[in-house]
Structure 1
Amino acid sequence: MKRSVCIFICHVFIGISVVFSQETSENLLTNSSFENQTKGWNMWGGEIINEGRFGNYSLKVHLDSPRWSGADQTILISEGAATADISGWMKTENVVRGKESWEMARISVEFLDENGAMTGGYPPVTGQAEGTTKWTRYQQSYNIPSGAKKVKVQAVLGNCTGTAYFDDIQISLKGRSGEALQKENLSGPTDEGEWYELMPATSKAGHYADWSSLLDAPAGKHGFIKVQNGKLAFSDGTAARFWGVNLVAGSCFPEREVADSLAMRLSKMGCNLVRLHHMDAPWSVPNIFGNVGNSKQLSKESLNKLDYLIYVLKKKGIYIFLDLLVHRDFTEEDGVVNKLPDLGGKQVAYFDPKVIELQKEYIRQLLSHKNAYTKVLYSEEPAIIASEFINESSVFVHFGGDILTPHYRKELQGQFLSKGNQGKLSVFELDYSTNISPVLKEKEKGNTVASMRFLSSVEKDYYNEMYRLMRSMGVKYLLAGSNFPTPILAYSKDNQGMDLIITNDYWDHPQLWKINNNWNRILYAPVNNTSLLKNPDKGSIAAITKYKWYNKPTIVTEFNACYPNEFTLDALPYISAYGSLQGIDGIIQFDFDATPVGKDRITPFTLSKMPDHLSQWVVAAPIFLRNDVKTAQGIVIDAVNEKMIYELPSYSDFIDKNYHLPYITRVAKSDSAVKGNDPSEYTGFYDKTNKIFTSETKELVLNYQKGILKINSSRVQGVVGKLSEEAFDLPMIKVKMKNKWASVMLVSKDTLPLSVSENFYLIVTTPCKMKGQKFNETRTALEDAGNVPVLAQVADGEVIFKGLKNLKITPLGPDGEKMKQLPLTLSGEDSSLDLKKAKTFVFEIKVKRN
C-alpha cells in the first residue's frame, strides 16, 4: 500500500479577473483562528502553537529544507455566488524563497469542480512574503470561474525554507448584486433513506454465496505458471486468470484454526490467489524474522505458520503471490551502518551492495525452505505463481520525491561517475500538478539524459541480478520487478524486461499527507469522495492501462476503493468488468483478514470488514474468472520511443488524451513496430454529447455524466450507480430503485446463460456506514467516524423478472445462511420482487422453467 506525499505546485493564473474589495461579510471558514486546534483544517505540515495574532493560537509552519507544507480548508460555493473574498494574517521569519518566484510563504486559493479538480487555472495569490515580516493582513477578491463548486484556501510554505505564522483566515461569498451568502452543506448517499443494523457474520469461514466451483483444486495441479502468447497459462496449456486478496503482515502467520477457516472463506468467495505482503515489516507481529531485532535469520515458528497457510490454501485451489522485499528494516545488527531513508530499502535497495547482498541472503533462506506440510521447497512449489523483487519502489524517486540521505546520494553519484558519465547525477522529484498522473521532473539540475539512462541501467541490473539468482535456485514461477504506481516511462520500460508487469491502484486513497501522515487518525484523513463512474479520465482502469505493455501479462497487485468514500459499491463491478475487457491477468484486492463481516467497524482498506465490497464479490468473481465479460479483440497501441523514455518528463499522455479507449477496447504500450487498431475506429463507441462509452463487445455501457454502468452479457446483467432517476430495462430484468446510489446485478450460478439457467444469484448492494458516522460540510472527511454496529441502507425498489413466474427467492446472510423465502407479485408473465422486504444484499434464485 502506498504512503504518498502530495505536492502542490502553483503556476501563473489564467482566466479569472481579480477585483480588490473593502467589503466584508460572514466568514464561512471553520475555526479560522485555530482556537479549536486543527478542527476543520487538513494539516499536511505545521503545528498549532499557543501564540496568535488574534486569540490564543495560530498555525506555525517551519521548514529546514524546501517542500510544500501547511494546511488547507475547502468550503462549498453557494448557489448564485459570483465573488469570493479571501483574507488572512501572516508573519514570517527568515523565509528563503525557492527557485520559482511564487515559492515562499503564501495564503493562496484554488477553485475546484464537483470532482475536486481545479477549474479556471491558478488564481493570483492572496498574499505572499519572504524574509522576516511582521503580522500583515492580506486580502483579495476573486471572480468565481465557471464550473467551480468549491473553493480551497491554503496557508503554506511553498517549496521554501524558514518559518511562517498564519491567523484569522477568512472566506466570504457574495452574489451578483454584492449580497452576502450563507454557507451551504452537501448531502450524499449516506445521508439518505432508511437504515438497518447489518447482521454480523458468526463464522470466520462463511460468505454470502459459495463460488468455490470457480477454483480448480488443488493449486498446482496443472503445473507451473508460464507466459504463453502474452497471457498466463499453466505448463499443461490451461489458461490462467487470478482474482485475489492481499494478506498483510501478521495475517500471513495465522494459527491453524484461523488458517483453515480463512482458506474455506476465501474459496467460497471465489478467491484463487493470495498475495503474502509485508511479511518482513518490523511493525508486523509476528513477522518472518520473529521480531528479534535483526533480519538475518528466518523464524522457525513464523515459517511453520506460513507453511501451514500455504498448505491449506493450496488444497482449496488458491495460488500464492510471494512478495520478497516490502518493508524490511535494514539495521546495524544486519551490518548496515548507514541508516536507510525508509523501510523496505526504497531507492537504496537497487544499488547499495550490502543491501543487495542482504536481499539475496533472504531469498536464499526463504526459497530453499521446504514446506513442512506440502514437503515441497518454496523454489519448486507450483502453487506459487509469482514474486516481486521490491514493493512500490524505483531508484528514480519515491512518492514524496527523492529521499536519499547524503551518504547514499554520494554513493550513487560515485557509481554514476564510475560508469564514465560526466558531471552531476540529477536529483528528481514528482510533479503532481497535472491532477491526473504525477510526472518526473528535475529537482536539482544535472546531466539529465545521462542520469536517466544511468538510473534505468541501475534498475535493470538489479532486476537481472535477482532474476539470475532465483533462476539458479530452480525457481520456475514468474518474476516481476516492482509495482511502483507512477507511470515513469523509463521505470516502466525497465520492468517490461521481467516476466510480467505489476502495478497498484487505489480509488480515493485517504490523504494521509493532509493529516501529517498520522496513520492512527486515518479514519479522519481527507478523501475526494467521488465516484469511479463519473471520473473516467482519472479512473482506475485508465490508470492501470498506463502500465500495460503489448504481449506482456499484467497483474494488479493492489486495488481498492477506500472507505469512507460514499460511492465504493461501484468499484468491484467496474474493475472486474473493465479488467476483463482489458484482458488483465490478475487483480488482487487490498487487504483481507480473518474478521467476520459486521463484527468490527469498516476501515479504509480491509475487504473483510467492508459489507458492500464483500457482497459485490458475488458478481465480480465470476465476471473476472469466468470471463463473463468478454475480453476485447481489438487493441490500440500507445506508441513510445527512446526519446520519450529517456527525456523528461518520461511520460506518455496518450491515455490522458484518449481516456475513452480503455473503456472500449484494449490499450497497451509498445516501443517496437507493433501496429494496433487506429483509435479512429472506435469513434462510434463514444457518444461525446451524452458522455457515454460502449465497449466494443457491446456488453458494457458507461454513462459517466450520470454515473451509471450497465452490464449486459450472457451470464451477468445489471446496473450500478445513480439509479434513482430512471428505470433500467435489461433482457432478463427490469430495475426500479429509489436509492440514489445502488447496484443491482443478476448472475448465473452455473455456467449456463441466464436465458436458460435455472439458478441465479441476485446481488442488491446499497451504501454502508457506521452508526453515528458524520461527514464534514464538504463531505471530504469524517467529523465523526462512528462505531459499531455497521449500518446498511434499505434497498427501496423492485426487480421485475421478465417472463419468469415460477421463482423461489431466498435471501442469504453473510455466512450464506438461508432466510425466509420472499413473496413475489405476479403480473402477466412477469414476477416482481419488493426489495424492502429483505434486509440483506444477496439472494439465491431458483427458476422452474416450462
Structure 2
Amino acid sequence: QLKAVLNVTGDIDLGPTPNERFGLADPASWPDDQLDWRTSPVDLAFLNAAEKPAGKRGFVKAVGDQLMFADNTPVRFWGTNLSAYSLFKSPDEEIRQQAKRLSALGFNLVRLHHHDSPWVSPNVFGDGTLVRDTQQLSAESLRKLDLWIKALKDEGIYIWLDMHVQRAFTANDNIEDFKELPEKEGRVDLKGYAYVNDSIQKAMKRFAEQYMTHVNEYTGLAYKDDPAIAAVLITNENDLTQHYGNALLPDKDVPRHSERYMSAAKAFARQHDLPADLTWRAWEHGPSKLFLNDLEQRFNADMIAHLRGLGVKVPIATTSTWGGNGLSALPALTAGDVIDAHSYGANGQLEKNPLTSDGMIDWIGAAQVVGKPLTVTEWNAEPFPLPDRHSLPLYVAGTASHQGWDAMMQYAYSQQGFNPGWRTADNWHAYNDPAMIATLPAAALLYRRADVKPATTRYVFAPTPATLYDQEITPRNSVLLRTAMEKGQLQIALPQTPELPWLKPAAIPAGAQVLQDPGQSLLPADATESVTDTGELKRNWQQGLYTIDTPLTQAATGWLGGRSISLGAIEVNSKTPYASVVVQSLDGKPLGQSRELLLSLGTRAMPKADDKTPFNVEPLEGSLTLKAPAGLKLFARDAQAQLKPLPAAYKDGQYTLTFDGHYMSNWLFLK
C-alpha cells in the first residue's frame, strides 16, 4: 500500500471525502444493534431441511464444471469459515447452538480453518506452551472438531477440511535442513520449502493420515469416510508460481533447498530445450512459469495420490489462486478436482469501472477454468469497518449465481470462541457484525435458491501458451477479464502445453465465444453501467449502484440517497446516502403475489470505542413501496427475538413503508 500527500493550489474542485459522502453523523448517536449472537434474526433453516443430516445424498463429487452429490443432485454451497479460537475455545453447548444459528442464517458449508496455526493455542496439536513438536494431534482438540462436525452435520451443513494452513515445525519434528529455514520464536513455516523438501512432504502426509483416518467419536466415522465432509484442501495460500518460488532462490540463504530447486530447474530446462539461465528465475514470466507449474504439479499429484490411498473420496483442491496471482498460476491448480480462489477487496467495489480498474469480483472470475468447478474458500473486504461492507454479500451472491460458481465461503464467521460476556468487533467475526449479517441471509437465499438465472452467453478466454506463460495476465491489466463478466459467463481455457504433458485442457463448450486478446474490451469505451445478458443484474459504477431484479428477489444497494429506484415489484426512495434494501419472497411465490416476505436493510455499522460491541447502526431514512396481497402485517425482530408490529400503509395493491431515520432494524417481515 502506498500513501501520498498531494498539495494543490488554485481553483481546483476536489471531491468530498469518504466520510462526507457517507454522512458526518456521529455514530454514537445511532441505536445499538438488534443482533443476538446466539440466535439468527431470520430463519432460513428450511433451505437445509431436505439435507439433514448432511451427507445423506452420498459424497460430493466434481462432474465437469459442477459439484454434485453421489445421487447426481447438483449442489451449490453458500459457506463461511470457522477459524482459530472458535474451533477450540467454544463450550460444547455453544458449538451446538452456533450450528443451529449457521443453518438459520442460510449456510450449508463451513470451512474449519487455522486449526494448525502456531498463534492459536490450543490448536490441533494442543497447548502451545507445552507442545514440543507437531507430530501428534491433541485428543481434546480433535474432540472439539468432532463435535463441530457432528453439530454442523445434524443441521444439514457440510464441512470443508484443510490439510495445512500455517503449521510451524519445531526442531523436534526431524525436518531435514531445518536450521537453514527462516525461524520465528523457535518455529519455521513450510510454505515454499515443502515443494523441494521430502521430509516436509512426509510430515504433511503423516498429518493428513492422522487427520483423515481419525474416527469422530460422535459420528463413529473417520473423516475420510464421512460424506458430510464436502472437500479438502492440501495447502493454504502456498503456490510456487508467484509467491513462494522466490523463497527457494540462490540469494535467499537456504543453500540446500536452493540446490534442490536449481537442480530441478536445470533438469527441466534440459528436458524441454529451454534456456537454463531463464528457467530458474521465479520472479519473471517466460520459461520459469512452465517450470514452476511443473514442480508444483509434481507435489500436488503426489499429495493427491496419498489422500486417495488413504480413502479420501471427495473433491481435492491443491492450493488457491490468491494475492495477485495471474492466469499463469492456474495450470498447476488443475491437478485438483476444483479450482479454489481467495479474493479480498477494499472500499467502493460497486464503483469499480471495469474499463479501467479491477475489483475483488474480477479476481474470482479469472479463476473459472473450463471443465472445473470453482470454489472460493475466502472472500471479504478490508480494512474493518468498511462503511459499505453490507453491499458485498449481495454483489458476491448475485455475480456467483449468474456466473455459475459452485461454492462461496465468506471469511470469516468467527476467529474468537463463542463464550458469554465480553465480545470484540473484527473483520474476521461476521457473526456479531450487523452490517454483514444484515445481508448475508438475503445473499444465501438468492444464491442457493438460484433466484438469479445463470448467464446465457459464454465467453471463453483461450490464450496461447506464449500468451499465458510469457506475460502477466491478471484482472489488473486485462480489460477482457474485467468486462466479460459484466455481460455473460467468463471461463478460462488453458492451452495444450508440450512442456506440461499432464495439463489436460477441457473441451471448449459449444456455442462459446472464444476470445484471445486480453486487451479486448466487451463494453463500449464510454460505458457507465452494465446489464447482464439475463437482464437481472445491473451495475452503474458511475453512480455506485447495483440492482437485482428477479421474480423472487429484488434488491438495490449502493449510493441510494436522493434517488428513486424502481424494480419489478418495489420502489426504493432513500435519504440515507449509502444503503442496501432487499425484498424477498419466503413462500416461493413471485413478489407481488407472495404472502410471506423478508426485508433486509443494510446501513453503516460502527463498533463502539476499542472495537467493543454492540455496534451502533445507522437508521435508514426513506421509504419502500412494494406490491403484495392485502391483509399482510409488518413486523421487526428485536434483540430478544420478539416480533414488534410496525405501521405499513396499503393502497392500490401496494404497501408503503416509511423509515424515519430514528428506529433501526436490519430485518423486517411482511406476512
* 1:617-636 pair list within 5 angstroms: 617-636=440-459
Gaps of 5+ in 1: 1-5, 7-41, 43-71, 83-147, 151-183, 430-439, 443-447, 509-528, 773-784
C-alpha distance in structure 2 between counterparts of 1:475 and 1:578, whole Å? 32
Distance in 2 of aligned mates of 1:626 and 1:545: 21
Deviations 1:36-84, CA, capped at 9 Å, x for gaps? xxxxxx7xxxxxxxxxxxxxxxxxxxxxxxxxxxxx44358578249xx
Work out the CA distance in 1 between the residues paired with 2:475 and 2:568. Answer: 41
Distance in 2, matches of 1:597 and 1:74, equals 45
CA distance in 1, matches of 2:15, 2:568: 39
Of Structure 1 and Structure 2, the greater helix share is in 2
* 1:364 and 2:364 correspond: no
Give the C-alpha shift of residue 596 in structure 1.
Answer: 8.9
- Equivalent residue, structure 2, for 1:478: 315
2:266 maps to which residue? 417
Q: Which residue of 1 aligns with 2:426?
A: 603
Cα displacement (A) at 1:494: 1.0
Cα displacement (A) at 1:664: 1.7
Give 1:666 shift: 0.6
Question: 2:499 maps to what in 1?
Answer: none
For 1:191-215, what per-residue CA distance to the aligned partner results, in whole angstroms no more than 9, with x for missing partners? 248842323544x431110011111
Contact 1:225 1:385 (8 Å CA) reproduced: yes
- Aligned match for 2:513, one of 678, 687, 690: 678
Aligned residues of 2:86 and 2:418 also touching (Cα < 8 A) = no
Quick one: structure 1 residues 723 and 595, their matched pair in 2 at CA, closer, same or farther if it must change by over 3 Å?
farther
Deviations 1:335-394 (A, max 9, x none): 122353486422111221111111011111111111111101111111111111111111
Q: Kindly provide the CA deviation profile for residues 240-267 of structure 1, in whole angstroms up to 9, marking residues without a partner as x.
A: 1101111112222333112111101101
The residue number in structure 2 matching 1:580 is 401
Residue 98 of structure 2, aligned match among 256, 262, 265: 262
Query: For 1:645, what is the secondary structure of its paired residue?
Result: helix
Instruction: For 1:752-767, list aligned pairs within 5 A.
Output: 752-767=589-604
**Is 1:236 paired with 2:60?**
no
**TM-score normalised over the length of structure 1:** 0.69
- What residue in structure 1 maps to residue 219 of structure 2? 374
- In structure 2, do the counterparts of structure 1 residues 328 and 802 end up closer, same or farther at CA, with 3 Å as the change threshold? same
Distance 1:208 1:264 in 2: 12
Inter-partner Cα distance in structure 2 for 1:721 and 1:652: 23
Cα distance in 2, alignment partners of residues 690 and 650 from structure 1:
23
SS at match of 1:755: coil
CA-to-aligned-CA distance 1:824-850 (integer Å, 9 cap, x gap): 23444432111226311100111xxxx
Equivalent residue, structure 2, for 1:198: 32
Match of 1:500 in 2: 338
- Quote how far apart the aligned CAs of 1:545 are: 1.0
Provide the rounded CA distance (Å) in 2 between the counterparts of 1:400 and 1:186: 41
Contact 1:271–1:621 under 8 Å retained in 2:
yes
Decide which moves more: 362-371 or 490-499. 490-499
Paired residue for 2:377?
Answer: 557
| Map of 2:253 onto structure 1 | 406
Letter in 2 for 1:830: Q
Q: How far did 1:402 drift?
A: 4.2
Q: Distance in 1 between matches of 2:390 and 2:7?
A: 25
Structure 2 residue matching 1:821: 3-state secondary structure:
strand
Do the aligned residues in 2 keep the contact of 1:379 with 1:475 (CA within 8 Å)?
yes
> Cα distance 1:826–1:653, how it changes in 2: closer, same or farther (>3 A)?
closer
1:189 has 2:26 as partner: no
Q: Structure 2-normalised TM-score?
A: 0.87
- Residues 185 and 607 (structure 1), Cα distance of their counterparts in 2 relative to 1, 3 Å cut: closer
Distance 1:650 1:218, change over 3 A: same
> Which AA in structure 1 matches 2:386?
N
| Aligned counterparts of 1:685 and 1:696: Cα–Cα separation in 2 | 12
Counterpart-to-counterpart distance in 2, 1:735 and 1:419 = 61
How far off its partner does 1:301 sit? 1.0
Number of matched residues?
A: 627
Which residue of structure 2 aligns with residue 323 of structure 1?
162
Distance change in 2, residues 1:694/1:809 (3 Å) = same
For the 8 Å contact 1:348–1:395, the answer to whether it is kept is no
The reply to whether residue 821 of structure 1 matches residue 642 of structure 2 is no
Q: What are the equivalent positions in structure 2 for 1:46-195 lying under 5 Å apart?
A: 72-75=3-6, 80-81=11-12, 187-189=20-22, 191-192=24-25, 195=29
Give SS of 1:663's match.
coil
Identify if the C-alpha distance between structure 1 residues 365 and 285 changes in structure 2 by more than 3 Å, giving closer, same or farther.
same
CA contact (8 A) 2:637 2:668 kept: yes
CA distance in 2, matches of 1:653, 1:185: 23
The one-letter code matched in structure 2 to 1:398 is: H
For residues 396 and 696 of structure 1, what CA distance do their matches in structure 2 show?
A: 35
3-state SS, counterpart of residue 295 of structure 1: coil
Q: Indicate whether 1:797 and 2:622 are aligned.
A: yes
The CA deviation at 1:689 is 4.2
Deviation for aligned residue 1:731 = 2.3
Pair 1:841-2:631 in alignment:
no
Q: SS where residue 387 of structure 2 aligns?
A: coil
CA 1:310/1:787 → structure 2, altered by over 3 Å: closer, same or farther?
Answer: closer
SS in 1 for 2:342: strand
Q: Does 1:252 align with 2:95?
A: no
Residue identity in the other structure for 2:451: D
Q: 2:112 aligns with which of 268, 276, 285?
A: 276
Change (3 A) 1:426 1:341: farther
Match of 1:390 in 2: 235
Partner of 2:646, secondary structure, is coil
Residues 327 and 565 (structure 1), Cα distance of their counterparts in 2 relative to 1, 3 Å cut: same
- Mapped to 2, the partners of 1:185 and 1:715 lie a distance apart of 33
Amino acid at match of 2:398: A
Post-superposition shift, 1:805? 4.1
- 639 and 690 in structure 1: CA distance in 2 versus 1, 3 angstrom threshold: closer
The one-letter code of the counterpart of 2:348 is T
Partner of 2:469: 646
CA contact (8 A) 1:402 1:427 kept: no
Q: Percent identity?
A: 27
Work out the CA distance in 2 between the residues paired with 1:220 and 1:832: 44
Q: Which residue of 2 aligns with 1:225?
A: 60
Q: Which amino acid aligns with 1:379?
A: K
Cα distance between partner residues in 2 of 1:639 and 1:822: 55
Matched letter for residue 122 of structure 2: P
Answer whether contact 1:208 1:618 (CA < 8 A) is retained.
Answer: no
SS in 1 for 2:210: helix
Which protein has greater RCO, CA pairs closer than 8 Å, 6+ apart? 2
CA distance 1:687–1:693, change in 2 (3 Å)? farther
Where structure 2 has 5 or more consecutive residues not aligned to the other structure, the ranges are 496-504
> Which residue number in structure 1 is paired with residue 606 of structure 2?
769
1:711–1:717 contact (8 Å) kept in structure 2: yes
Local SS of the residue matching 2:53: coil
